[in-house]
Amino acid sequence: MTATYDVVAIGNAIVDVIARADDAFIAENNLAKGSMQLLFTTEEAEALYDRMGPGIETSGGSAANTLAGLAALGLTCGFIGQVADDQLGRVFTHDMTAQGVAFTTAPRPGDPPTARCLIVVTPDGQRTMNTFLGASQFLPAAALDGQLIADAAILYLEGYLWDPEEPRAAMRQAIATARGAGRRVAFTLSDVFCIERHRADFLRLIADGEIDILFANENELLSLEQADGFEAAIASLSARVPLLVVTRGEHGAVAIKGGERAEVAAEPVDQVVDTTGAGDLFAAGFLAGQAQGRTLRDSLTMGAICAAEVIAHVGPRPQADIKALVAARLD
For binding to its own copies (CB under 8 A), which residues are involved? 17, 19-20, 49-50, 52-59, 68, 86-88, 91, 94-96, 98-99, 113, 313-315, 317, 319
Q: In angstroms, what is the minimal distance from the CB of 313 to its own copies?
A: 8
What is the residue type of 3?
A
Supply the minimum distance, in Å, between the C-beta of residue 274 and its own copies: 11
User: Cβ of residue 163: shortest distance to its own copies, in angstroms?
Assistant: 23
- Complex with its own copies: residue 50 or 250, whichever CB lies closer: 50
Shortest spacing between CB 97 and its own copies, in angstroms: 8
Q: How far is the CB of 81 from its own copies (least distance, A)?
A: 15
11 or 315, CB closer to its own copies?
315
Q: Which residues contact 314 (CB under 8 A, 6 or more apart)?
A: 18, 56, 121, 273, 274, 276
Q: Which of 168, 256, 231 is nearest to 204 (CA)?
A: 168
How far apart are alpha carbons 231 and 235 in whole angstroms? Answer: 6
> What ranges in the chain are assigned the alpha helix state H?
23-28, 42-51, 62-72, 87-97, 146-150, 165-180, 192-207, 218-225, 230-238, 278-291, 296-311, 322-330
Using alpha carbons, select from 74, 85, 116, 106 the residue that is nearest to residue 318: 74
Strand-pairing partners, residue 121, are 20, 127
Comparison of 104 and 226: residue with beta carbon closer to its own copies: 104
- Say how many C-beta atoms besides its own lie within 10 A of residue 98's C-beta: 11
Q: Toward its own copies, which CB reaches closer, 99 or 238?
A: 99
Q: Which is nearer to its own copies, 12 or 177 (CB)?
A: 12
